[in-house]
Amino acid sequence: MEQKPRPMNNAKVLLELTTTKMPFGKYKNRLLCDLPVNYLEWFNRKGFPPAELGIQLAAIYEIKANGLEYLLKPLRGNG
């Protein structure tokens, strides 16, 4: 059975990018918003992982590729 995408609140999605850690690989435990662009570009070429993580990685790739990182600054807290 195909899973339907859930409706998302844009602010919630952005907040998750500043609080979710990469669960595997070279950058395991690094916040998604802190992943280097070249790593995200690699995923963009090879394919993002399935499910929520893939959606989040695609989102942070688009944000970084389009110079929109300023959208995350208010959500990052004092760090």
Q: Which two tokens stand for residue 46?
A: 């090879």
Give this prediction's pTM: 0.82
Residue 44 inside a domain? The answer is yes
d(CA 37, CA 31): 13
**30 inside domain:** yes
Q: What domain count does the chain have?
A: 1
- Residue 1 resides in a domain: no
Residues of the chain by 3-state class (helix, strand, coil), percent to 5: 55, 5, 40
Q: Which domain holds residue 28?
A: 10-75
Establish if 60 belongs to a structural domain. Answer: yes
pLDDT in tens, 18-75: 999 999 999 999 999 999 999 999 999 999 999 999 999 999 999 999 999 998 988 8
Asked, for residue 2, whether it belongs to a domain, the answer is: no
The contacts of residue 31 (CB under 8 Å, 6+ apart) are 17, 18, 19, 20, 21, 22
Q: State the CB neighbour count (10 A cutoff) for residue 35.
A: 20
Question: Is position 62 within any domain?
Answer: yes
